[in-house]
Amino acid sequence: MADKKFKYVPFVTEIMTARYPKLSEPDTQGEYADGKYKTEATASRDYTERLQGEIQRVVEANFPRRKSVHVPWKETKEREIAFIFKSPKKKPVLTDAKGNPLNAGIIIRGGALIRLIGVIAAWEKGAKRGVSLWPDAVRVIKLANGFDACVMIDDPDGGFDGSLGFGPPEDGYDGTAPTA
């Protein structure tokens, strides 16, 4: 692969728990600020193993004889695997559990239950190579406590395309109802 050339494999996650999400606004403050929309997310042990396997298959398909390939996960201090989702250029579409756009002002905080859809991107730039998880959309199943007050927007449909691939609406957080 040449510089700036990527190979993509689509993904849709099961329900995961967000860690350090910067999805409502890009990460522009602090030690790790890079101006990108991103989150870490943890999942059940079973799903973690399956998602790692899916990512590893992308690694093996694109870098069959390479030893040093970046993978988009890390072990947390709680000894869990946290997957790293980071959008290279654009804000992911944010929806509630029913597939409706999130109202302006809703902040997705750590501990929120989310699903993500996007691509597993295999990349190579110079001597570096790896696989990244690029989110295109995030469905909030349950907001974590302490979210900011809702700010209504004029067009609640906001151009959301319900065919993004999450499937039918799910039980859970409905962006029209405030929570305590």
- In order of their start, the domains of the chain are 5-142 (2.40.50.140)
Query: Which residues does the chain have with pLDDT short of 70?
Result: 1-5, 146-168, 176-180
Q: Do 139 and 96 meet the contact criterion of CB atoms below 8 Å apart?
A: yes
Going from the C-alpha of 72 to that of each of 5, 167, 178, the distances in angstroms are 18, 25, 34
pLDDT tens for 107-148 read 999 999 999 999 999 998 888 899 999 999 999 999 997 634
User: pTM of the predicted model, to two decimals?
Assistant: 0.78
Nearest to 120 by CA among 162, 75, 61, 68: 61
Across the chain, mean pLDDT equals 85
Check the CA dihedral 135-136-141-147 and report its sign.
positive
